[in-house]
Amino acid sequence: MQQSNTSVFNRGHIFLICLMGGIFIMGCNGDLPNNADKRFQPEDNSEAYDASKTSNISEEQNKFFHARKKMIETQIKARGIKDKRLLDAMLKVERHKFVPVQSRDLAYIDGPLSIGEGQTISQPYIVSIMTELLNLKGDEKVLEIGTGSGYQAAILAELSKEVFTIEIVEPLAKRSKQLFQDLGYKNIIVRHGDGYIGWKEQAPFDAIIVTCAPPYIPQPLIEQLAEGGKMVIPVGTYWQELKLIEKLNGKIKTTAIIPVRFVPMTGKRDK
């Protein structure tokens, strides 16, 4: 998950995002105000079956659908994302269900939002560019490091066969697991643990996506990447680059994509 003041890059152009005059931090251990943890309140579904509210529910769904369409046109396609399957997935996945109820009207803005536990949901464009780089066709086994809100995993689940996702913050891991069950995702497996070491017993993976920045590419993740596989990962300390890693004939090919700012990876790397 990238820092919320991340510059948005469209192959050479920089779009600096300032959200409500503040700077939010996104990532495996992002620092947000202490009261951020209290902002996420479980959705109360008790009114969902009140017949008198049916028209309001329908109106709300329609509002969010049009907000997603606008997000795709102005934030995603406008910045060069072209993969039709990815665009369809981002239209289908209801991003507002991955944010606190009180923040749902902001779910489709061009920036991150707090999800509690000192964490945020990533900006839609960052989700799209990292996903597009994986070039998923539908039959892949994918490893995600940093579940967060669960939004990225849901997008991956629409585009691949299986998603194995690791979250180091236990409440987020539990929350995301329940949300995936509620939304009917049967191809997402959640683990609470240290993403630096990957998920050896489920390796190899056709694709790996990392949402926090280590100073170097973790060797366990390289080892768990399948032959012909792709990994997208931000690498660096203060100055970071998003990198595409490909394993070809047993050799590693690294391509620098764009400068980014993500919070540091925590866990075993710190020891």
Residues with a known catalytic role:
122
Structure letter (DSSP) for residue 45:
-
* Rounded Cα gap, residues 119 and 125, in angstroms: 18
Q: How many CB atoms lie within 10 A of CB 192?
A: 16
Q: Tokens standing for 162?
A: 């299986």
HSE of 178, CA atoms in CB hemisphere, 13 A: 8
Q: At what angle do helices 151-159 and 84-92 cross, to 10 degrees?
A: 130
In the chain, alpha helices (H): 54-71, 84-92, 124-134, 151-159, 170-183, 219-224
Contact 125, 8 (CB under 8 A): yes
Contacts 24+ apart (CB under 8 A), 180-189: 180/150, 180/153, 180/154, 183/97, 183/154, 185/154, 185/157, 187/157, 187/160, 187/161, 187/162, 187/163, 188/153, 188/154, 188/157, 188/162, 188/163, 189/162, 189/163, 189/164, 189/165
**What is the radius of gyration, based on Cα positions, of the chain?**
18
Residue 232 to residues 17, 161, 188, 213, Cα–Cα distance (Å): 22, 18, 19, 11
